[in-house]
Amino acid sequence: MTGTTIADTRLKRHPIRGFLYGIFFGLGLALITVGQGWAALGTWPPFIVLIVGIIVGTLWATFGPAKAPKGPPPAGATLAEEPTPEPEPTPEPEPAPEPEPAPETEPAPETEQIPEPFDAAPSLEAEGDDPLT
């Protein structure tokens, strides 16, 4: 079988990105140590904390848990161990039965028609009272 298999797909690691994140992590920890008074600004401990942050970020990006690939497998990829099963032939659909004729029934009785809402109100002009005068 030729082509790419899913078993050949590899996760990408990003050690340079981890290095850059480690710089920010180390700077944050160094600022916390200086801000809390655990180390003075002109001494070695903040610099050592920065270096430890860089090492931790790089190691985490290189050996830490990786995310699954975002996209689908490459086109034409198949499973390495399992062969692709052949699709089963679909049976032809049976013709639909003809509908039975509806039984004849008597027409529904006529209902009383409801008047329109504005037709039901009495007219003021018919009584002779003019509300504007």
Query: Collapsing DSSP states into helix, strand and coil, what is residue 78?
Result: strand
How many CB atoms within 10 Å of residue 46?
21
pLDDT at 58: 93
- What proportion of the chain, given as a percentage, has pLDDT over 90? 30
The CA distance from 39 to 25, in Å, is 17
Q: What angle do CA 92, 95, 99 make, to 5 degrees?
A: 155
Mean pLDDT of 31-38: 93
pLDDT tens for 90-125 read: 888 888 888 887 777 776 667 777 767 665 555 555
Mean pLDDT of 75-85: 62
How many CB atoms within 10 Å of residue 28?
13
Alpha helices per DSSP H over the chain: 15-35, 44-63, 124-127
pLDDT at 131: 59
Q: How much is the pTM?
A: 0.46
Q: How confident is the model at residue 126 (pLDDT cuts 50, 70, 90)?
A: low
Output the average pLDDT for the chain: 77
Q: Over 90: is that where the pLDDT of 85 sits?
A: no
Higher pLDDT, 96 or 77: 96
pLDDT tens for 2-18 read: 555 555 556 778 889 99
